[in-house]
Amino acid sequence: MAEFKLPELGENITTGTVTKVLVNVGDRVEKDQPVIELETEKAVVEVPSDVSGTVQEIRVKEGDTVKVGQVLLVLSGEAVKAEAPKREEAPPARIEESGGLASGLAGGVALPRDHAVGVAVESPLPSNVEEAETEEELAVGPEVRRVVLAAPSVRRLARELDVDLQQVKGAGPSGRISAADVQAYAQKGNQAKPPEPKPEQPQTVGETVGLSSRSTALERDRYGELKREPMSGVRMKTLEHVTKAWETIPHVTQFDSADITELERFRKDHGKRVEAAGGKLTMTVLLMKVVAEALKKFEKFNSFVDVENNQILLKHYINIGVAVDTEHGLMVPVVRNADTKSLTQLAVEVGALAERARSRKVSIEDLQGGTFTITNLGGIGGLWFTPIIREPEVAILGVSRARIEPVWVENEFKPRLMLPLSLSYDHRVIDGADAARFLLWVVEALEQPLRMVLD
């Protein structure tokens, strides 16, 4: 027998909540095949098995909280490795990763640099692909199914597109299936496949939509009825993080507003060009570019506090988090090296990250490594607010809804589109004068974007 234990999932992540068990007793499991779906650190991740075999026992169920090192599955050792016919050594294969930016984004609006990001790398077949992963057929329960050669990211993509990998013919060595194979099959084969109707489940009294498996019946207190709603993993993490940040960081918020009349005209003029590349030129994207340049000039805003050693760690990389409002709670995926990317690249990446966050497909890695955060409530409304800093960062920029206001320009009042900005900062590191200078630079860059090129 072989035990599959919950592996290390990321820095400072020790527990998670099981949201779905992807295998059943009697199923054949291959090494690197996802077997458990886990909610942790504001993300839902698929955990792949590090052993092969037949599932004999499942020791967890949906809703269970599990710890790193805890046994999740017990597998028989008799089917750990199957005999495979000898074959000639396969040439190196192109492993395609899903979810990246399209390489060679052409025609992007660059302020001031434009670097294309590739999505494919040359690599030999991974060493953890066992000889058993061939086109031969293996008996699995009452059916006869072949073992599929596909990376975990490809298997995840197949589930998202409702594609049965058993039906996909891989174009890679030994029939290995790539993301492109799955997408091609989905476009051709799945178009004619009618969606299977989902049987309606009766809803019990007091059941909460989206939390039916964890809901409780209505209760009463002295004033009337009430219902307890358990916190999701996302909400519990939010509670933990904001409480720690509020208790340990002395917050101060600086307010200002920017005249974005000309910038909004620029955004509309070039929006279709960015959409052609697969992104959307939003005010958040424009702000990200401006903030990335500001962080180069004001290094303290891109730092962490090392309290134990009485030091300030100045980061030489700029990773900007973007707060995304989802039905599961607030998530903050991170765009890495934002200062090296064009507006078009930022637009594509921000859109992809936001979509993955809303569909709960964002990875733990996507949520880590941020050095500064932007949170935009302009799509909802409001004028000013005081955002809470995401510890261990030292600043966060809040954005509210722009509105037309009369502004004194050239000896007369003119209607101008004004954008309210709220900068919360850690007063242990940043003084009020520094914050005022930082926000003033951002405002002037929004009003006169070419200033960044001059600087």
Which residues are marked as active site? 427
CA distance 390 to 371: 9
Q: Assess contact for 115 and 340: CB atoms under 8 A.
A: yes
- What residue type is 436 in one-letter code? A
CA distance 169 to 96: 16
Place of tokens 């004619």: 192
434 HSE (CA, 13 A, CB side)? 19
CA distance 37 to 155: 13
Give the per-residue SS3 of 91-102.
CCEEEECCCCCC
CA distance 341 to 349: 10
CA distance 308 to 321: 26
Closest CA to 297 of 110, 455, 112, 443: 455
93, two tokens: 């294969």
CA distance 133 to 148: 7
CA distance 451 to 445: 6
Host H or E run for residue 296 = helix 283-297
Q: Which bin fits 134, alpha (ψ -120 to 50), beta or left (φ > 0)? A: beta
Q: Assess contact for 386 and 422: CB atoms under 8 A.
A: yes
Residue 330's DSSP bridge partners are 325
Place of tokens 């005209």: 265
Closest CA to 38 of 20, 59, 55: 20
My answer on whether omega of the bond before 392 falls inside 30° of 0, hence cis, is yes
CA distance 395 to 303: 9
